[in-house]
A and B are shown apart, each in its own frame.
Chain A
């Protein structure tokens, strides 16, 4: 390694085969209690439906399973190890009390169909979290059902569609800024809206005159991320909302970047009609290697009749329950009531923070992003000089002259002991480096990061190959993704099969 890092040291870790390669007949990690009812003849009961063989399912012992997964775990980077500056992903600390309370017996083992009279604890959690999120967003009502952000987008747009339908004027298209997440256009297409691109201006914000000319009575909604994916707050948000509302359109806010706003400003106050939150971003529920998420959708009063079923209500006897009879509802968006386990965690996070803690959290998140911006300005190209909120986007313009692209720099960061930032997004910045530190990073950790990024920039000048060939310290490096896609091997097969 050319430039030494203070952040990390190389360390041996264990190899581990696929579990199937460790299996052999007769090993077992399970033991069932003796049966307290008569044995049955499954062939007689099931007839032709009886299954005789489970193919290549593994047979291994418990210690092997513990080692198998523990060894594999050591090949992962994680927030628990260090800064995870993925832009738009809000990789913040996942508090452990959240995990503890999610595992309390009645909370972990409650059946979704148990009678309401013995479900008041869970319903109270839904109610309290709903009230907190409504207050945080400044909206009027909420559904907690959507399983993730994109699912929330779908639920939100379905409500938009139902609203326009009820107005007697179904509309055809949704406007989406060119800086938006890919889920926005994919969702609009899924609910059968045409997608119309809206360009950004030189400050990286919505181009107001473009919006004015594109807005028509065919536009159902604008899907806006605010702050947007450049980490820029849409300063003319009131104008944007006014332009939409004047022609009967609705303002949808993608709440992916809500970590920049909590306790400081409320979308409901600046004209948003419908928005989703990502509990796995802003509210600290763990990403878990890609999920589970949770994507509640908060709305203004006029959309309330269209909420998905069931809707949580307080009954006349003071207990809580679900209401299913909602004639104008968009319908059900998933079985049961949503990713309840994530609600428990998000509520525990809100309780651990309180109003003062949430505000301080937001301030620290924005402070951290600006600190990194200051530290790297001059070393990396900053394509938009507009003020930064919770994340900052640089470009690889300077380094590209030496043939080094954003992905190379990202891979080199791995050698320095960091997870890469988000690469090549947003699409409006060629060669983007999108950095979101979150509030969870100390000054010391960010200083290490700035130092690493500067060191890599020096390497680019002195010896670009070391960056282009990175990472050099990992178990595997630059896996052949083209081959993986051309001839997909998506499962293990027993030799000879």
Chain B
């Protein structure tokens, strides 16, 4: 076996040193009736070339070569080449959690820079070293608000990513935390009056997403005012991190729960991605997850350590702020490198291109289908309503190697034939034009069949 660095003679010699004759004696503590006396029924040992072939084959069956208009919480952005060059260094890839600070300064300093950049971008004062993903970060942020306010219920905007809402429901239900949902208005944004009505003296926080699931930018200032007036905290989820280059961060929020996948992390069929929580300094002791802090060593040299560990499970056990242990460190490093590459000016220009592509696409589609929620500003997604079922349209798009927008009826039956389309800097004008052409064709054929029906009806 090519990963095992021992010859039969080594094993022999080691057994002899231990004072055993066979390796089976090492397993004597396991009651004989439970020991497996056969081979596991799994695929046989494969050569490296066979493994590569196997996954290339699976890749060909997995959307290889398609241009996609999907966003909805997972975004396709260009990943600078140096991200993989750098994260592939064994010193980053094959290191453990940096508990031993003296030989982990590389990881620690990079996390400190990550925390700093997340603060700069979100307008918050502190950020943690990462969470599993945006959905669990949002759920953990809500639980943080529950601890901070001593209140137990939560108001969630229906314009929050539906899967994030489901995850929160799982976390909350089993802790007996009541959830209420506030709908959205004609502009696709949280309905402020409904939101206010949903808040009670037991509401720990209001959870919204901005840009929201429909790509629309919420009125965070107004929502914060409503929440704070009622003694509740405001938690804002950000699923499309690139928006931070051109959209005001939700500075009025008390906690921001972010998904940073857009910053250099592959879509990877949904994971691993990179959640982060950012908040105010005064709330840091209730924040879950690892934190890196700056300090000095015994000779006064600057260095970095994991800190405030008394919040964490390995110290506090059942009294910890969360059970989180392993986070998404290597993915956070991708995010870190991406933020460093684009930096102060690049992130803004990148976000602008996203905005331009989406504005163009929404304008073109609006000539044929109906673009909903046009009354509010949006970033890189928009909702397109068609006469035909979007699943049927998407089937036709597949034939042109295009993946159309995400049909919304699964989560929002009231939106009927609407789908959520996304354009990023990688979406070409020609792909947009092709998709627009196909949607236009669909509209024309529905219309002409309706006309035919009308004519038939008249003839009767």
- CB <8 Å contact, B293 and A289: no
Provide the residues of chain A in CB contact with B56, threshold 8 Å.
104
- Chain A nearest CB: distance from B141 CB in Å? 14
* B163 sits at the interface (CB 8 A): yes
Most buried by B among A20, A113, A190, A192: A113
* A314 sits at the interface (CB 8 A): no
Mark out the residues of chain B between 173 and 188 whose CB falls within 8 Å of any chain A CB in the assembled complex. Answer: 173-176
Complex: how many Å from CA A32 to CA B100? 40
Provide the residues of chain B in CB contact with A266, threshold 8 Å.
34, 36
- CB <8 Å contact, A78 and B95: yes
CB-CB under 8 A for A479 and B270, given A75-B105, A158-B174: no
* B359 sits at the interface (CB 8 A): yes
- CB <8 Å contact, B313 and A182: yes
Complex: how many Å from CA A473 to CA B320? 35
CB-CB under 8 A for A374 and B86, given A30-B80, A77-B104, A331-B169: no
Provide the residues of chain B in CB contact with A492, threshold 8 Å.
112-113, 116, 294
Most buried by A among B63, B266, B337: B63
Provide the residues of chain A in CB contact with B432, threshold 8 Å.
37
**How many contacts A-B (CB < 8 Å)?**
686
- Chain B nearest CB: distance from A449 CB in Å? 13
Among residues of B, the one whose C-beta sits closest to the C-beta of A308 is B170
Chain A window 207-238, contacts with chain B (Cβ cutoff 8 Å), 1 for yes, 0 for no: 00000000000000000000000001101011
- Chain A nearest CB: distance from B178 CB in Å? 14
- CB <8 Å contact, A32 and B341: no
CB-CB under 8 A for A108 and B266, given A32-B349, A237-B31: yes
- Chain B nearest CB: distance from A36 CB in Å? 4
Mark out the residues of chain A between 309 and 362 whose CB falls within 8 Å of any chain B CB in the assembled complex. Answer: 309, 330-342, 344, 348, 350-361
Residue in A112, A189, A364 whose CB lies within 8 Å of B74: A112
- CB <8 Å contact, B115 and A352: no
Residue in A69, A115, A147 whose CB lies within 8 Å of B136: A147
Segment at the interface with A among B64-72, B227-235, B365-373, B444-452: B64-72
- CB <8 Å contact, A333 and B271: no
- Chain A nearest CB: distance from B320 CB in Å? 4
- Chain A nearest CB: distance from B44 CB in Å? 5
- CB <8 Å contact, A476 and B301: yes
Residue in B45, B313, B333 whose CB lies within 8 Å of A288: B333
Residue in B80, B268, B290 whose CB lies within 8 Å of A110: B268
- CB <8 Å contact, B247 and A46: yes
Chain A window 408-443, contacts with chain B (Cβ cutoff 8 Å), 1 for yes, 0 for no: 001100100001100001000000000000011111
CB-CB under 8 A for A147 and B132, given A111-B74, A352-B48: yes
- CB <8 Å contact, A101 and B52: yes
CB-CB under 8 A for A335 and B40, given A49-B248, A387-B29: no
- CB <8 Å contact, B5 and A335: no
CB-CB under 8 A for A36 and B428, given A79-B90, A113-B74, A332-B167: yes
- CB <8 Å contact, B116 and A190: no
Complex: how many Å from CA A353 to CA B43? 9
Provide the residues of chain B in CB contact with A288, threshold 8 Å.
87, 92-95, 329-331, 333
* A246 sits at the interface (CB 8 A): no
- CB <8 Å contact, A57 and B344: yes
Chain B window 324-353, contacts with chain A (Cβ cutoff 8 Å), 1 for yes, 0 for no: 111111110100010111111111111011
Chain A window 257-278, contacts with chain B (Cβ cutoff 8 Å), 1 for yes, 0 for no: 0000011111001100000001
Provide the residues of chain A in CB contact with B455, threshold 8 Å.
none
- CB <8 Å contact, A414 and B269: no
- CB <8 Å contact, B270 and A109: no
- CB <8 Å contact, B121 and A57: yes
- CB <8 Å contact, A81 and B91: yes
Complex: how many Å from CA A158 to CA B423? 38
* A198 sits at the interface (CB 8 A): no
- CB <8 Å contact, B170 and A158: yes
Provide the residues of chain A in CB contact with B120, threshold 8 Å.
54-57
Residue in B95, B297, B303 whose CB lies within 8 Å of A287: B95
- CB <8 Å contact, A293 and B326: yes
Provide the residues of chain A in CB contact with B291, threshold 8 Å.
488, 490
- Chain B nearest CB: distance from A72 CB in Å? 4
- CB <8 Å contact, A233 and B126: no
- CB <8 Å contact, A330 and B64: no
- CB <8 Å contact, A19 and B340: yes
* A167 sits at the interface (CB 8 A): no
Segment at the interface with B among A83-91, A297-305, A394-402, A454-462: A83-91
Segment at the interface with A among B13-21, B381-389, B434-442: B13-21
- CB <8 Å contact, B14 and A186: no
Complex: how many Å from CA A411 to CA B328? 26
* A1 sits at the interface (CB 8 A): no
Complex: how many Å from CA A336 to CA B20? 49
* A485 sits at the interface (CB 8 A): yes
* B398 sits at the interface (CB 8 A): yes
Complex: how many Å from CA A215 to CA B360? 66
CB-CB under 8 A for A151 and B136, given A109-B266, A488-B307: yes
CB-CB under 8 A for A488 and B170, given A32-B353, A48-B248, A73-B89: no
* A475 sits at the interface (CB 8 A): yes
- CB <8 Å contact, B329 and A40: no
CB-CB under 8 A for A114 and B43, given A107-B269, A479-B305: no
- CB <8 Å contact, A58 and B343: yes
* A42 sits at the interface (CB 8 A): yes
Provide the residues of chain B in CB contact with A190, threshold 8 Å.
175, 322-323
- CB <8 Å contact, B102 and A336: no
Provide the residues of chain B in CB contact with A376, threshold 8 Å.
none
Provide the residues of chain A in CB contact with B73, threshold 8 Å.
335-336
- CB <8 Å contact, B45 and A485: no
* B158 sits at the interface (CB 8 A): no
- CB <8 Å contact, A77 and B103: yes
- CB <8 Å contact, A72 and B105: yes
- CB <8 Å contact, A355 and B39: yes
- CB <8 Å contact, B14 and A192: no
* A405 sits at the interface (CB 8 A): no
Among residues of A, the one whose C-beta sits closest to the C-beta of B249 is A51
Provide the residues of chain B in CB contact with A69, threshold 8 Å.
86, 89, 92, 110, 337
- CB <8 Å contact, B344 and A78: no
Chain A window 145-159, contacts with chain B (Cβ cutoff 8 Å), 1 for yes, 0 for no: 001111101100010
* A118 sits at the interface (CB 8 A): yes
- CB <8 Å contact, B5 and A65: no
- Chain B nearest CB: distance from A359 CB in Å? 8
* A12 sits at the interface (CB 8 A): no
- Chain B nearest CB: distance from A311 CB in Å? 14
- CB <8 Å contact, A352 and B95: no
- Chain B nearest CB: distance from A59 CB in Å? 5
Provide the residues of chain A in CB contact with B343, threshold 8 Å.
23, 28-30, 54, 57-60
Complex: how many Å from CA A129 to CA B23? 28
- Chain A nearest CB: distance from B255 CB in Å? 15
* B58 sits at the interface (CB 8 A): yes
Chain A window 371-393, contacts with chain B (Cβ cutoff 8 Å), 1 for yes, 0 for no: 10011000000000011010000
* A452 sits at the interface (CB 8 A): no
Mark out the residues of chain A between 465 and 486 whose CB falls within 8 Å of any chain B CB in the assembled complex. Answer: 471, 474-481, 483-485
- Chain A nearest CB: distance from B451 CB in Å? 31
- CB <8 Å contact, A135 and B41: yes
- CB <8 Å contact, A289 and B329: yes
- Chain B nearest CB: distance from A346 CB in Å? 12
Among residues of A, the one whose C-beta sits closest to the C-beta of B221 is A48
Q: Which A-B residue pairs are the 8 nearest by beta carbons? A: A288-B330, A336-B270, A354-B45, A80-B90, A121-B62, A106-B59, A112-B270, A121-B61
* 12 A–B contacts from the bound complex (CB under 8 Å): A19-B113, A19-B340, A32-B346, A75-B91, A76-B104, A122-B58, A151-B324, A264-B36, A336-B133, A411-B100, A420-B100, A488-B291
Extra pairs beyond A30-B342, A484-B293 (8, CB < 8 Å): A37-B357, A76-B104, A77-B100, A119-B63, A189-B320, A344-B55, A374-B18, A479-B304
